[in-house]
């Protein structure tokens, strides 16, 4: 892969869960499963996510990573600029908003703050952008510290509202 001034050309975002790197898969699956626990009022989903994060990253580090993910979700809920579309945990598809979330955390991990800000602004209102950037940076660092590097991928910077149910 060629580099131009330290920038790696972005690969296309996969549209299927099976094509994600392990860190991306865990992040998106955890996001979906956590939200399913909220929507279905089923705390068992949260225990499953905690177990996966602690298995992957180690006890305390996994719990801190999960806190970062939950903080991001809470900020998206409280500052949503629009409805954020996501799929159920077992769905093999990746939606546009989910691709933006993956690209947001990857940009945070890579220190691409303009890219991260652009993606955050497509998910939350202006009042929530700074907090979402902080939460994304924290989660990205914790994941990176345990070898879960998220690749730079092309994803929509902003997503028009669409309804998708799978």
The predicted-structure confidence for 40-68, as pLDDT tens digits, reads as follows: 999 999 999 999 999 999 999 999 999 99
pLDDT at 125: 97
Q: How far apart are CA 120 and CA 99, in angstroms?
A: 12
pLDDT band at 23 (very low <50, low <70, confident <90, very high): very high
This prediction has a pTM of 0.88
For 86-136, the pLDDT digits (tens) are 999 999 999 999 999 999 999 999 999 999 999 999 999 999 999 999 999
Least confident of 72-76, 79-83, 99-103, 111-115: 79-83
Going by C-beta distance under 8 Å and a sequence separation of 6 or more, which residues neighbour residue 166?
87, 88, 91, 93
User: Residue written as tokens 């994803």?
Assistant: 155
Which whole number is the average pLDDT over 136-144? Answer: 97
pLDDT band at 1 (very low <50, low <70, confident <90, very high): very low
pLDDT at 161: 44
User: Among candidates 133, 110, 129, 130, which has minimal Cα distance to 121?
Assistant: 129
pLDDT at 153: 83
């Amino acid at each position: 892969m060629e580099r131009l001034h330290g920038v790696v050309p972005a690969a296309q975002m996969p549209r299927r869960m099976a094509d994600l790197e392990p860190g991306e898969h865990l992040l998106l699956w955890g996001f979906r499963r956590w939200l399913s626990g909220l929507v279905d009022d089923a705390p068992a989903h949260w225990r499953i996510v905690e177990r996966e994060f602690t298995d992957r990253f180690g006890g305390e580090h996994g719990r801190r990573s999960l806190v970062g993910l939950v903080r991001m979700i809470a900020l998206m809920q409280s500052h949503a600029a629009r409805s954020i579309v996501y799929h159920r945990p077992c769905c093999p598809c990746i939606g546009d908003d989910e691709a933006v979330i993956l690209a947001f955390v990857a940009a945070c991990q890579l220190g691409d703050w303009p890219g991260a800000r652009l993606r955050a602004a497509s998910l939350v209102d202006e009042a929530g952008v700074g907090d979402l950037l902080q939460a994304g940076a924290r989660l990205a660092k914790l994941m990176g510290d345990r070898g879960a590097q998220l690749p730079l991928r092309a994803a929509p910077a902003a997503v028009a509202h669409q309804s998708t149910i799978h």
